[in-house]
Structure 1
Amino acid sequence: MELLERINTALKEAIKSKDTDTRNAIRMLLTAIKNKEKELRRELQEQEILQLIATAIKQRKDSIAQYEKGGRTDLAEAERREVRILQQFMPEELSPEALQALVREVIQEVGATSVKDLGKVMKPLMAKIAGRADGKTVHEMVRQELSG
């Protein structure tokens, strides 16, 4: 599993270079992976690991917003550092044009014609996107495409 190997290698490098922020963020990620594997009683696929990373990034971004609202810029900055560390394991984000093309392709594949078909489009689309775009952005783009 290439992604898990990259994560473990990054952890070793962080430990060697005494980079505590990176070490802690990667250990948190590996713990989440191990917990999910115990829950499912099997090893995770690369796609599932990417989903865990995306969830962790989303949680950090939500925390950043809360910390900034509360005037805790020090904690918000710590969360930003973790987001940057975790993002290095995610695939490169899709450009808006590439995302739009994927949206149109999946809409045609499933034969969606109205906003009522949003759910039929989102599931296969999110599988194809695989962490390369934000879910909210994708949802809005599909909604616009189906209503226009």
Structure 2
Amino acid sequence: MSLVDKLKDQMKEAMRAKEKVRLGTIRMALSAIKQVEVDTRETVTDEQAIAILTKMVKQRRDSIAQYEAANRPELAQAEAEEVQVIETFLPTPLTEDEIAAIIDATIVKVGAASMADMGKVMGALKSEVQGRADMSAIGALIRAKLK
């Protein structure tokens, strides 16, 4: 079953259970996926859907930080609830040890020796860790290892 099909099934369950936040968040996710399908005129793959959901989580985390800085905890809480719903559809996050092992293996695989090779490492890692780890944190770890 594809990720889009899972989202649609969960949307139906949220409707039956009258879970407004969950229903609204799933509808928002399906809408974002549909927008990409319309724009590209192609069916979204699971990898693309994960990328879309990851982007949605990142946007909401940015919003949470801005709402907290503006002293609006009720809006930050609403965004946090949406993040929790979206994360249920993403793959399980990698641990720090798993991330370090993947980075080390990728550096060896692409033969990276300096910061000039960081793009190669990031490109090789992206498909493997997409949706399972924060790419900005991974970039910082790669920088530390390629000094």
Report the TM range for the smaller structure's normalisation.
over 0.9
Matches within 5 A, 1:1-148: 1-147=1-147
| Alpha-carbon distance in 1 for matches of 2:21, 2:125 | 34
Give unpaired runs (5+ residues) of structure 2: none
For these two proteins, the number of residue pairs brought into alignment is 147
Q: Which amino acid aligns with 1:42?
A: E
Note the C-alpha offset of 1:2. Answer: 2.2
1:7-49 deviation line (CA, Å, top 9, x unaligned): 1111001100111100100000000000000111110110000
Q: TM-score, normalised by structure 1?
A: 0.97
Q: Which amino acid aligns with 1:46?
A: D
Note the C-alpha offset of 1:136. Answer: 1.1
Q: Does the residue aligned with 1:71 lie in a helix, a strand or coil?
A: coil
| Alpha-carbon distance in 1 for matches of 2:82, 2:67 | 14
> What CA RMSD, in Å, does the superposition of the two structures yield over aligned residues?
0.8
Segment drifting more, 138-147 vs 50-59: 138-147
Q: Which amino acid aligns with 1:50?
A: I
Note the C-alpha offset of 1:130. Answer: 2.0
Segment drifting more, 1-10 vs 99-108: 1-10
Q: Which amino acid aligns with 1:75?
A: L
Note the C-alpha offset of 1:5. Answer: 1.6
Question: Which segments of structure 1 move beyond 6 Å, counting only runs of 4 or more?
Answer: none
| Alpha-carbon distance in 2 for matches of 1:17, 1:57 | 24
Q: TM-score, normalised by structure 2?
A: 0.97
Note the C-alpha offset of 1:60. Answer: 0.3
Q: Which amino acid aligns with 1:24?
A: G
| Alpha-carbon distance in 2 for matches of 1:5, 1:35 | 16
